């Protein structure tokens, strides 16, 4: 029987959920707080908005591994794309979707058998009722900045507010954290700044531009004039760019429904990072896993969730124990949603439980992903200066340099 479904957010996660929910015959309504689809991929010169996108960027995954199942990227695009290319892809993907723009979901509550959803459009509140709610509100918009009250007298910004490198001309810049954004920003700022120090314990790179000093350490503290590392090294800075990631945030759900644990890096109580354990067939979270191939994984999550909505999918009896079981396998509980190698078995498991066919091409995506992980580490400056060419049956690829 068709359900009435609410989707919060028109980013990649919300859009792929909508595509499958509509295909399954459900009645779908999408609420988007901005005036555009695309979420992360909507670049804005202004800071403080939802998106953390910077002006010049190339995707950190190639188009061959970043696609939805029935929607390839344009043939004429390079493998590593601009944010404009990805935004155009999402716009094309979502033509005619039932989206209410400039409408923020401010509250979601259980109301007997249904979900009561309160929205705000230009400060006008409306109340709606749904059978099922999908939270697809993203998780790169609430900066995690451990140093914000450190008393640093220079300028400090989080990568969320980084837009372009011109701003750093002639400055001594310290960058903390070398994840995908941290390293992108380092390479850009190195072109304009007087000097860049990149501090990161986990991610280190054998080759970086001459103007970058890499220190494999943690920041012990930030003080008025700069940074002190765990080893006691004192590094003076005009500007500190904090690239330490983001916390999860669901302003429309109160703590009786969702708790954020381990410094707000774990969303609980969920089964498979996806279904609320108390409402496993009607409250879902798409896109929480980190360190993944994103779009294809969102699609598998959406299909499994919808299999539960339709009653076709399986839900094991011990979903309450999922979190405890996963936490036992982790050294650091704050890494709860970080998947990397686990993502392939995760998607297989969801497909098996959801009773839908695995996508054959996922094995090729896995090969591409593993290749990139190695290349990025070896050659972070140049690894995007190639295209991927798939063989005829799309089971393998070759690299074409340009
Ligand atoms: C700088 C940067 C670079 C990235 N590069 C890549 C890359 O190269 N490749 C890749 O695969 N991934 C990349 N990512 C990850 C990227 O975030 C995901 O690929 C994906 O776009 C996330 O989609 P999402 O729908 O989960 O979230 P978002 O894109 O954040 O979308 C969430 C949407 O929900 C809306 N929303 C939020 N709250 C509400 C509310 N209360 N009511 C109504 N609407 C709401 C927001 O306005 C937004 O439109 C990058 C991320 C960042 C920050």
pLDDT tens, position by position, 260-292: 999 999 999 999 999 999 999 999 999 999 999
Distance from the alpha carbon of residue 305 to the mean position of ligand 1, in angstroms: 19
Question: 3-state class of 120 per DSSP?
Answer: strand
pLDDT at residue 97, as a whole number:
98
* CB distance 136 to 9 below 8 Å: yes
Query: Omega into 40 within 30° of 0, i.e. cis?
Result: no
* Same domain assignment for residues 24 and 75: yes
* Same domain assignment for residues 216 and 296: no
Q: Determine whether the shortest distance from the Cβ of 105 to ligand 1 is under 6 A.
A: yes
Q: Is residue 288 part of a domain?
A: yes
* CB distance 56 to 286 below 8 Å: no
C-alpha closest to that of 343 among 388, 384, 287, 389 = 287
Q: Is residue 375 part of a domain?
A: no
pLDDT at residue 218, as a whole number:
94
Domain span holding position 324 = 4-141+246-363
Q: Determine whether the shortest distance from the Cβ of 200 to ligand 1 is under 6 A.
A: no
- Atom 12 of ligand 1, nearest CA residue: 294
pLDDT at residue 260, as a whole number:
98
* Same domain assignment for residues 327 and 358: yes
Distance from the alpha carbon of residue 148 to the mean position of ligand 1, in angstroms: 24
How many domains does the chain contain in total? 2
Grade residue 402 by pLDDT with cuts at 50, 70 and 90: confident
Determine the residue of 44, 137, 384 to mutate for testing ligand 1's pocket, defined as the one with the most ligand atoms within 8 A of the Cβ atom. 137
Q: In whole angstroms, what is the distance from residue 120 CA to residue 341 CA?
A: 40
* Same domain assignment for residues 257 and 180: no
Distance from the alpha carbon of residue 67 to the mean position of ligand 1, in angstroms: 15
List the CATH number of the domain containing 200. Answer: 3.50.50.60
Q: Is residue 368 part of a domain?
A: no
Question: 3-state class of 40 per DSSP?
Answer: helix
* Same domain assignment for residues 217 and 105: no
- Atom 14 of ligand 1, nearest CA residue: 40
* CB distance 21 to 306 below 8 Å: yes
pTM for this predicted structure: 0.97
Determine the residue of 6, 19, 39, 144 to mutate for testing ligand 1's pocket, defined as the one with the most ligand atoms within 8 A of the Cβ atom. 39
Q: Is residue 380 part of a domain?
A: no
- Atom 49 of ligand 1, nearest CA residue: 39
* Same domain assignment for residues 30 and 137: yes
pLDDT tens, position by position, 321-373: 999 999 999 999 999 999 999 999 999 999 999 999 999 999 999 999 999 99
* Same domain assignment for residues 67 and 36: yes
Q: Is residue 76 part of a domain?
A: yes
Q: Is residue 236 part of a domain?
A: yes
- Atom 51 of ligand 1, nearest CA residue: 40
* Same domain assignment for residues 24 and 131: yes
* Same domain assignment for residues 164 and 15: no
Q: Is residue 25 part of a domain?
A: yes
Helices and strands in the chain: count of H runs, count of E runs: 7, 22
pLDDT tens, position by position, 25-51: 999 999 999 999 999 999 999 999 999
Closest atom of ligand 1 relative to the 53 alpha carbon: 1
* Same domain assignment for residues 230 and 255: no
* Same domain assignment for residues 106 and 199: no
* Same domain assignment for residues 251 and 238: no
- Atom 30 of ligand 1, nearest CA residue: 138
């Amino acid at each position: 029987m068709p359900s009435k479904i609410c989707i919060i957010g028109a980013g990649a996660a919300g859009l792929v959920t909508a595509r499958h929910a509509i295909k399954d015959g459900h009645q779908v309504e999408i609420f988007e707080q901005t005036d555009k689809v695309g979420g992360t991929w909507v670049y804005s010169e202004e800071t403080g908005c939802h998106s953390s996108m910077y002006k010049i960027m190339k995707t950190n995954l190639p188009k061959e591994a970043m696609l939805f199942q029935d929607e390839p990227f344009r043939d004429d695009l390079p493998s590593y794309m601009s944010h404009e290319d990805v935004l155009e892809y999402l716009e094309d993907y979502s033509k005619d979707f039932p989206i209410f723009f400039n409408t923020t979901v401010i509250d979601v509550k259980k109301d007997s058998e249904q979900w009561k959803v309160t929205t705000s459009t230009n400060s006008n509140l409306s109340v709606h009722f749904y059978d099922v709610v999908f939270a697809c509100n993203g998780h790169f918009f609430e900066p995690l900045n451990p140093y914000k009250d450190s008393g640093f007298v220079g300028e400090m910004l989080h990568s969320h507010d980084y837009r372009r490198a011109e701003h750093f001309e002639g400055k001594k810049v310290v960058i903390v954290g070398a994840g995908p954004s941290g390293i992108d920003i380092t390479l850009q700022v190195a072109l304009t700044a007087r000097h860049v120090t990149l501090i990161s314990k986990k991610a280190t790179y054998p080759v970086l531009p001459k103007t970058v000093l890499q220190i494999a350490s943690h920041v012990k503290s930030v003080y008025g004039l700069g940074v002190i590392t765990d080893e006691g090294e004192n590094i003076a800075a005009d500007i500190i760019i904090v690239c330490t990631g983001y916390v999860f945030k669901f302003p429309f759900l109160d703590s009786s429904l969702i708790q954020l644990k381990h410094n707000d890096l774990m969303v609980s109580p969920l089964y498979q990072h996806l279904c609320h354990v108390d409402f496993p067939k009607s409250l879902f979270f798409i896109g929480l896993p980190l360190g993944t191939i994103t779009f294809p994984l969102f699609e598998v999550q959406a299909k499994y969730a919808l299999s539960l909505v339709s009653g076709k999918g399986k839900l094991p009896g011990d979903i309450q124990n999922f979190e405890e079981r996963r936490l036992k396998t982790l050294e650091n509980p704050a890494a709860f949603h970080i998947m990397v190698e686990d993502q392939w078995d995760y998607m297989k498991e969801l497909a098996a439980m959801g009773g839908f066919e695995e996508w054959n091409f996922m094995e090729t995506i896995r090969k591409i992903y593993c290749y990139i992980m190695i290349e990025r580490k070896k050659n972070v400056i140049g690894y995007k200066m190639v295209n991927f060419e798939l063989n005829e049956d799309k089971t393998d690829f070759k690299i074409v340099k340009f």
